[in-house]
Amino acid sequence: MPVAERERHIVDGAITFFSEHGMDAQLRELAGAIGVAHTLVYHYFPTKQALVDRVYQEVFAGRWKKEWEALLDDRSLGVEDKLVRFYVDYARTVLTRDFVRIMVFSGLSDRSIPDRFFALLGERLFPRLVRETRRHRGSRARGSASVREFELLMGLHGGIFYGGVRWFVYGQPIHPRRPPLDDPAIIADRVRSYLEASLGL
C-alpha cells in the first residue's frame, strides 16, 4: 500500500475507532482494530496525541468553512435569513456520527477536542452571532456578550448540536418520522425563537 494510502487508512480507522470506543484506548488497541501492526501506527504518529491532533484537524477544524464567516458578515442579508442559512449548512456539515461521538467522548475524558473546538467557535463564530443578534434587536452595544446574551446563544447553538446527540449517542430520532438533522423548517423555528427571545434582553 502506498505511503499516503496507508496513512489515510490509519487516520480513517482512528476516526471510526475513537467514535465507537472513546479516546482512552491505547494505540495498540487501535492498531489491532484496524488490522495493522502497532509499530506501523507509531511510524506515522509517534504519540497518541499526534494522532488525536490529526483526528481533530480532519473531523473538526478541517470542516470549518470560511464561507460561513462571509455569510454572517454580509450586511445585505437579514439576520434571520443568514442565521438560518448558516445553521442549516453547519448542521449538514458537522452533525455526523464521527463528529458528535468524538466530541462527547473527548468531553468525558481529557476535553482536548471540545476545548479546541470551542476556542475556534469563540474566535470565529460566537462574536459574529452576538453582533448579528444585537443588530436584530437594534442594539448598538459592542464588546463581549453578557451572561444572558451568551447563555441564550448557547441555547440555540446547543439545541442544534443536541439533535446529533439524540441520534448518534442516545439512538433517539428527533421525531418518529426522522426528519434530517439539517431540516430547514426545524432550524428556522429554533432561530426565530432565539431571535424573539433576544428582544427581551
Is the predicted pLDDT of residue 178 greater than 90, yes or no?
no
Among 117, 95, 108, residue whose Cα is nearest residue 18: 108
Q: What is the pTM of this model?
A: 0.94
User: What is the per-residue pLDDT for 12?
Assistant: 97
- Across the range 170-199, mean pLDDT stands at 93
The CA distance from 195 to 154, in Å, is: 13
Is the predicted pLDDT of residue 72 greater than 90, yes or no?
yes
Report DSSP letters for 138-160, one per residue: T----SSPPHHHHHHHHHHHHHH
Q: What is the residue-averaged pLDDT of the chain?
A: 95
The CA distance from 138 to 134, in Å, is: 6
pLDDT, tens digit, 9 for 90 and up, residues 117-167: 999 999 999 999 999 999 999 999 999 999 999 999 999 999 999 999 999
| Cβ neighbours of residue 94 closer than 8 Å, sequence gap 6 or more | 63, 161, 164
Is the predicted pLDDT of residue 16 greater than 80, yes or no?
yes
